[in-house]
Amino acid sequence: MTEDLFSEMTETLFEDKSILSEEYRPDVIVERDDEIDAYRTALKDVLFGRNPSNVFIYGKTGVGKTAVTEYIMNALQTEVSRRDAADELHVHFRNCNGDTVYRTVRALVNSIRGHNREKFPETGLSTSHALETLYEEMDSLGGTFLFVLDEIDHLSDPNTLLYELPRARSNGHLENARVGVIGISNNYTFRSSLSPKVKDTLMEKEIAFSPYDAGELQSILTARAEKALVDGACEESAIRLAAAKAAKDTGSARQAIDLLREGGDVAEEHGAEAITDSHIEVASERVQRGRVQNKLRDQTMHGQLILEAIARLEADGEAPVRSKEVQDSYERVAGRWSRDPLTTLKSIQNHLADLTMLGFLERTEQNEGRAGGVHYQYELTLDPEIVLETRASIETDA
C-alpha cells in the first residue's frame, strides 16, 4: 500500500544535511586566514569614514570567494555599527552572469529601493539614465556603498561600469555617499582585458584564492562532518579520500562537500552504519557526472554545440583536432539540431579560447615549421559520453 512506501525509513546518517548544501554559510571560515586578513586590510578605510578601496577577488569555482566575501561583509557591517567615525554601510550583491550594464545598474537601484518602492523599468531608458538614478538613490541615503559584483567577467561591458562607479564622487555625481566595487571572478586574466583608463581608475586591491590542497579540504570536511552527521557515521579514511579526490581534480571545497554528502546517500542506500571509502568511490562517479552536466548547461548555445562537435570527433577517434575541423563538425551538429551556426572561423576560435580558459578543453601548440606553421589542437577534458548524453537531454527538454 502507498502509505507504507516510506515506513521502513527510520534511520539516517545525517544530523543536519543542510550543512553539506551549497547554500550553507559556516559561522567560522577555516583554511582561508591569509585571504581574510588581506580582505580586512583592503576594507579598513570604511571604518574611518574614508573612501573604500575597490577589491578584486580571483579564484576557481568552489575555493571560498563568495563565502569569505559574505563573511567579511557581515563582520564589517557589525564593526561599522560600533564606530562613530564610520558612515552607515550599505552592501548590495549582484551576480552579473549574462547581464548588461543596464540590468546590473537597474538591479542595484531596486536593491537600494527595497520591496516597498516602485521598481526601476526593465526597458525604455538609457544606461546613463539608470546610472543617474543610482547616484540619486545613493546620495539620498548617504553613507558608504559596497557593490559586490559576482562573476563580473561575464558582464557584457565591464569597462563602462568599472569606469563610472569608482569615479562617481570625483566627477560630482555623489556628494553624500561613497562607493567601492568588489568584483569576484573565476578568470585570473580578467584585469588584462580592461581598458587602460579603467585600470588607472580602479586602483584596486587584488586577492587571489588558490585551490585547496588535500590537507585543507580534510580540515573543512571534518568541520562540516562533525555538525552534519551523527556520531560515528563516517570513517576518517572516507573523509581523507573525499579530500584527496577533490584536491586532485579541482581543489574545490564544494566538490569535496558534494562527495561527502553523496557518500552519505550511497551509504544509506546500502543500509550501512557509516560512510566508507567504497561509498566515496561510488559518490565520486555520480558527482563527476552531475558536475559536468551542470557546467555544460551553463554554457551558451554555441559553446555547447562546439563541445558536442568535439565530443563527436573524439568518439570517432579523431581528437585532438584543429579549429577548422571543429568548425566542420560544429556546422553538422548545428544543422542536426536546427540551430543557426556561427559563420566565421574566427568566432569559432574565440569560443574555443573561452572554453579552454574555463577548463572544458585542453589546447596544445603544434609547430610544423615553414611548411605548416604554428597552430593549436584541441581535445576535451571531459568524458565525451557525458557531453553527448547531456546535449541530447538539453535538446529534448527544449
Domain segments of the chain as ranges: 2-19+212-296, 32-209, 299-397
The mean per-residue pLDDT over the stretch 64-91 comes to 96
pLDDT at 303: 94
Task: Say if domain 32-209 classifies as CATH 3.50.50.60.
Answer: no
DSSP code for 156: S
DSSP structure string for 258-277: HHHHHHHHHHHHTT-SSB-H
* Lateral strand order in the sheet of 89-95: 89-95, 143-150, 177-185, 55-59, 205-209
Please indicate if the annotation marks 64 as binding a ligand. yes
Q: Across the chain, where does the E strand assignment appear?
A: 55-59, 89-95, 143-150, 177-185, 205-209, 361-367, 374-380
Q: What is the pLDDT of residues 7-16, one digit of tens each?
A: 665 579 999 9
Q: What is the pLDDT of residues 141-174, one digit of tens each?
A: 999 999 999 999 989 899 999 999 999 999 999 9
Q: What is the pLDDT of residues 18-42, one digit of tens each?
A: 999 989 999 999 999 999 999 999 9
How many angstroms separate the CA atoms of 119 and 115, rounded? 8
Please indicate if the annotation marks 102 as binding a ligand. no
* Band of pLDDT at residue 3, cut at 50, 70 and 90: low
Confirm if 255 and 249 have CB atoms less than 8 A apart.
Answer: yes
Task: Say if domain 299-397 classifies as CATH 1.10.10.10.
Answer: yes
pLDDT at 133: 97
* Band of pLDDT at residue 339, cut at 50, 70 and 90: very high
pLDDT at 6: 59
How many angstroms separate the CA atoms of 259 and 280, rounded? 6
pLDDT at 257: 97
pLDDT at 294: 86
32-209 and 299-397: identical CATH topology: no
pLDDT at 357: 84
Q: What is the pLDDT of residues 184-231, one digit of tens each?
A: 998 888 888 899 999 888 888 999 999 999 999 999 999 999 999 999
How many angstroms separate the CA atoms of 347 and 374, rounded? 19
Please indicate if the annotation marks 67 as binding a ligand. yes
From residue 132, alpha-carbon distances to 145, 172, 305, 342 in Å are 15, 11, 40, 37
Q: What is the pTM of this model?
A: 0.78
pLDDT at 108 over 80: yes
Q: What is the pLDDT of residues 347-385, one digit of tens each?
A: 999 999 989 888 899 888 877 666 666 788 999 988 899
Please indicate if the annotation marks 63 as binding a ligand. yes
pLDDT at 120: 94
* Band of pLDDT at residue 111, cut at 50, 70 and 90: very high
Please indicate if the annotation marks 66 as binding a ligand. yes
pLDDT at 129: 96
Task: Say if domain 2-19+212-296 classifies as CATH 1.10.3720.10.
Answer: no
Average pLDDT, the chain: 92
pLDDT at 264 over 90: yes
